[in-house]
Copies of this chain bind each other. A is one copy, B any other.
Amino acid sequence: MLKVYNYNQLSATEIQKLTLRNTDAGNEIRETVENILANVKQNGDVALREYALQFDKVTLDNLFTDENELAKLTERVSDEQKEAIKTAYQNIYKFHKTQFRQEEKVETMPGVTCWRELRPIEKVGLYIPGGTAVLPSTFLMLGIPAKIAGCKEIVVCSPPQKDGKINPFIAFVAQLLGVKEVFLVGGAQAVAAMAYGTESIPKVDKIFGPGNQYVTKAKTIIQSTTVTAIDMPAGPSEVLIIADESANPVFVAADLLAQAEHGVDSQSVLVSTSQQLIDETIAELEKQLPILPRSEITKKAIANSYAVFTADLLEAMDFSNQYAPEHLILATDNWKLITEKIINAGSVFLGNLTPESAGDYASGTNHTLPTSAYARAYSGVSVDSFVKKITFQHLTSEGIKSIGKTVEILAELEGLQAHKNAVSVRT
């Protein structure tokens, strides 16, 4: 069921191969996506209506669901569901709120003062997937930091459901966030609409959100050909669990399966110092998997997964850092001993009582995270992703005197006389 490797018997090349994920899987669909982008750029709303008919099988009168319709749709959400969404909202808000912090001024030389100020990105676009799985949690994860940052315009796109309307849970989150309309557009065409603007949909400065390979390819093309930024490239979701003999195989198996049910290309990796734990976890997988509603998908993802046996936790951490997982679970009572050794990971779940699904929904951390080893250089989405940090500097007459000579010499040695003059005329 789960392939098992022995870390000490793996060559560097084999480890590299095991930790490799395809980061440009969608390259064969580039042309299709480029055509969609070009069509939306040129034909705007007309193209969007065509794609709604072609891909979502609905004829749309309006390309958006307005405030009144949103309110009506929320009637389909039960009180218990509303409470759960509100609790998640509060936790996510509480944690992200601490990320918005103005910084202090620094006097680097007498009369030379420097600092940074946070400014919201004015116009942001949130893409909320809504094909086979509708993800209101993603809307919370993107909408809350956008509100905290103070973004002036929050444009939201999500594919229309079969009834030509937006999903009721999405509608309820929109209400909580104070978002007054949701655009009924999905896929690469949604990314195109927010990057170029159409008659109905405003052009934005940065596009956020996960999606299928068409959405991701569209985002990376937009990022490299226009001034519109993206949050990060996103590949299939993944988890790496480091477990020792203190771990519970029932919990470990449940966590591996939670990851695997996302999609057939998801990956669940177990790295353990205990051969017994590996064996018992595999036995548990065989028990828990068949009774899952998404067992077909999950089974394929598990076939795409593996376990690695290591001599100790440090070796396990070594493998994990090479893998650079989106989600890292430390299923050990000894997690305090190894957290400092974490170099590459998106979000970390500490100890045997912290399942990844807590962070997926409600612990407070963000679930929009770097996959496919992007965690080597990227962080997950946070309030930082919705602001710019602008540097400021002010020189007094004392300041220009303190720094003047230094600037003149440096400009001179780089051969930039006009740079030197800009100081000289002032001193």
Contacts and interface: CB of A to CB of B under 8 A. Distances in A.
Interface in A168-224: 169, 205-206, 220-221, 223-224
A361 B227 contact: no
Interface string A360-374: 111111100000111
Contact of A419 (B288, B357, B396, B418): B357
Contacts of A403: 87, 91, 358, 362-363
Q: Is the interface of A mostly helix, strand, loop or mixed?
A: mixed
Contacts of A419: 258, 261, 357, 360-361
A389 interface: yes
Interface stretch (A39-47, A58-66, A111-119): A111-119
Contacts of A15: none
Contacts of A27: 225
Contact of A395 (B262, B358, B360): B358
Nearest to A121: B377
Contacts of A135: 414
Given A339-B392, A372-B227, A414-B136, A364 B112 contact: yes
A229 B374 contact: yes
A220 B418 CA distance: 31
Nearest to A253: B425
A57 interface: no
B377 A391 contact: no
Contacts of A250: 425
Number of chain A interface residues as a range: 35 or more
Interface of A: 23-24, 27, 80-81, 83-85, 87-88, 90-91, 94-95, 98-99, 103-104, 106, 108-109, 112, 114, 116-117, 119, 121-122, 133-137, 169, 205-206, 220-221, 223-229, 233, 250-251, 254-255, 257-258, 260-262, 288, 292-294, 298, 339, 342-351, 353-366, 372-380, 382, 384, 387-397, 399-400, 403, 405-407, 409-411, 413-423, 425-426
Those 5 A-B pairs whose CB atoms lie nearest each other, nearest first = A229-B377, A108-B364, A84-B409, A355-B422, A365-B391
30 contacts: A23-B226, A87-B406, A88-B410, A91-B403, A98-B103, A98-B106, A99-B103, A114-B365, A121-B376, A122-B344, A133-B416, A137-B410, A205-B376, A227-B373, A227-B374, A257-B418, A257-B421, A339-B392, A349-B393, A351-B394, A351-B395, A353-B396, A353-B397, A354-B394, A357-B419, A358-B407, A366-B391, A375-B390, A382-B391, A384-B384
